[in-house]
Chain A
């Protein structure tokens, strides 16, 4: 609480005050006690507690929405505004170890307010509180929809305000796609609430168990999904690094290119799916390099045309290796064309300008940048600003100027951690190369064999 900025504190106190006032007003009404169906309330409150204790993972971690929506909305129908508010109040005692009291109070207060709002919206739109009859369907959908809308809108607003006051969530963190997914999940969870309310007339509290079972199975699967996803990311990184161990100086190149590529992609506002794809494409862009004979990379001096052709083949080799993976097609295009140049003088196909796939244009910038800011056998790492100047110089000839501009913007905001200086290899136990095909400052020289 102490570290909160003062507007947040004011907001926080006002919120709790409002919630307290609303509850007090209901409780001081005559005979309020008899207006509440206590057995329903207790079951729904328990359900809320269970749901609140296992929040679903969402993109923005601070604004995690949990299934508890369903319980609160079912309470709107079955018990009324006060019931929904009391159910929401359970957020204060949710079983989440380590959740600070401040957050508990905030959650409780905002759920109380949302509960009241949803309850009023329900009655205003013509709904009657109590067990829904068969004849209420499908007409009940209108007031129930109004209740859901009120609940979600106010919940979203209250949470967004506190997030803005406390941290200021960046524009990029909440994408349009994310909002669509968010709304979709809300409609889903709202329907759970309707199911609970609708089934109550038939099987009372058993309805909650039946509704919860599929939900928990879904959560089980989602949990496994996230674990597999993390494990997958770690594995792909480790395998790419294994490919690089052969060359002493390029270690870590793949992960850094992946990071820089996703910086650019995020800056131009790519969706989650494509962001993930470009991360993998950046990671895998050089796997084909293993097919280039070591003696070519280690050769001092100019290469013959034949030797240069071996280097030019590596994007195709890479593509050949990863083609069996179920990535977005764009990721493959990115790997295949990451050495094309904006002026059409690149390889393997000599594409130019907008013919080059977007992913490839991004990876090309990230690739060259990391190459310049890392140590090489034949030179020390360049400072970031020198590398940036070099990117600027080559924008329009080698690189897509838009991507260079975007990258520089992202760099100046987020900064960049260049790799640590690589100590000179201890002896000749490791391999060093005399060439880096990614380095725009020392292009590979080719002699004609005629």
Chain B
């Protein structure tokens, strides 16, 4: 999906963001070049840490690129009061310059091995850091005077509040981009972003503040010492992201065994899951719900593996209802054996239920998506799609949920348009 999006280019929100970040970068670097780098040793130290963090960026579930070490270092540099007692008087624009140079330097090795940067994610990181720098740098002087007299509370309080504001702004920007990208409701996107980014954001903000304090009492030793807590966090998140990705890939891959075995048309599970996901987003489902929906949609035909012979053509919309129900039950049984995917098993089990039995929303979506794909297949023909939709509508709300069918009509309309263009 990521590649498909890349092929279609960036959407307007992303472009705007990248342009803003680009302009900021130019402004920061040219300003710093004009007035000279204040306290160059410190700037270089933080720049190196930012570059290292950028080098170690990782992709979290939901194709979200994050660079916690880089972000924390940028936060630390933006919030810096003094280094071993020497006041840190760099301007907000210098923060922007150090950040952007560090990020570009850290991104180059990735580029060299053929992994192009996600410009929108980089732009977001840069903007969030700059925002904080512009809000905080003017306050740095007064806060430092109070802090060096021994009272660190005002400084810590301001840092915490501004970091929280920055994180919120970042979440809102991310949610706006995401809402546009995957076409989900903004409010759902905000909830998803908070759930995914909250813990990591808290860790990053705490580390940034830690870095400020450490720079005060440990001088430049703070930088290497500080890398440790974030490294531990980073390793943990990398492992988590890795297994999540492998999990999804594995279910996607193994859902294809039904095709190889000749039980269903080639590509059926994949198409049904993509259509189901799009409908789920249209109906405002949250990310965990969408994940269950995707798993269930991919495995909705797995019960056929327990059948003696493949049903010719495999189209379950055309087989008799008892048979379809049997397949759904067998499939649920298989999934239940995992001992973990109970929600998915329930969705698969009830995928044939008529609307009157009030099955879960995901089951209703899969039922409609499955029927649509059975009727249309991989075809992108407009008339065929319209005919299939008409047939689902004619059912009149007994078998297929009208809300789902309408959401599907909108999704299909969009998909057909995209393939035509």
Contacts and interface: CB of A to CB of B under 8 A. Distances in A.
A291 B260 contact: yes
B102 to A, nearest CB: 20
B243 A222 contact: no
Interface of A: 132, 134, 137-138, 141, 185, 187-189, 191-192, 194-195, 198-199, 201-203, 206-207, 210-211, 213-215, 217-222, 224-225, 228-232, 234-243, 245-246, 287-288, 290-291, 294, 317, 320-327, 429-431
A71 to B, nearest CB: 14
A210 B225 contact: no
B230 A134 contact: no
A321 B338 contact: no
Interface of B: 84-85, 152, 156, 199-200, 202-203, 206-207, 209-210, 213-214, 216-222, 225-233, 235-237, 239-240, 242-247, 249-254, 256-257, 260-262, 299, 302, 305-306, 308-309, 334-335, 337-341
Contacts of A320: 260
Contacts of A241: 334, 337
A195 B229 contact: yes
Q: What are the 10 closest A-B residue pairs judged by CB atoms, nearest first?
A: A191-B228, A290-B261, A217-B203, A221-B236, A213-B206, A238-B337, A231-B340, A218-B233, A225-B240, A238-B338
A198 B233 contact: no
A235 B232 contact: no
A210 B210 contact: yes
B225 A191 contact: yes
A446 B341 CA distance: 44
- Interface on chain A toward B: helix, strand, loop, or mixed SS? helix
Contacts of A201: 217
B217 A202 contact: yes
A317 B221 contact: no
A314 B210 CA distance: 56
Contacts of A245: 305-306, 334
B246 A326 contact: yes
Nearest to B234: A218
A199 B309 CA distance: 70
Given A134-B218, A185-B232, A241-B334, 16 more contacts: A137-B219, A188-B228, A198-B218, A199-B213, A203-B152, A210-B213, A214-B206, A217-B202, A222-B236, A228-B243, A232-B250, A235-B340, A235-B341, A239-B338, A242-B334, A243-B305
B260 A234 contact: no
Contacts, number: 198
Contacts of A189: 228
Contacts of A137: 84, 218-219, 221
A69 to B, nearest CB: 12
A217 B200 contact: yes
Given A287-B254, A290-B257, A195 B240 contact: no
B302 A232 contact: no
A141 B199 CA distance: 31
B225 A198 contact: yes
14 contacts: A132-B218, A134-B85, A134-B219, A138-B220, A198-B218, A201-B217, A214-B229, A217-B233, A221-B240, A225-B239, A228-B244, A239-B302, A243-B257, A321-B254
Contact of A222 (B219, B240, B261, B334): B240
A219 B236 contact: yes
B355 to A, nearest CB: 29
Contacts of A217: 199-200, 202-203, 233
B209 A210 contact: yes
A230 to B, nearest CB: 8
A235 to B, nearest CB: 5
A188 B231 contact: yes
Most chain A CB neighbours (cut-off 10 Å) among B156, B243, B247, B252:
B243
Contacts of B250: 232, 235-236, 239, 322, 325
B221 A229 contact: no
Given A203-B213, A241-B337, A246 B229 contact: no
A293 B299 CA distance: 22
Nearest to B72: A214
A37 B238 CA distance: 40
Contacts of B262: 291
Nearest to A234: B338
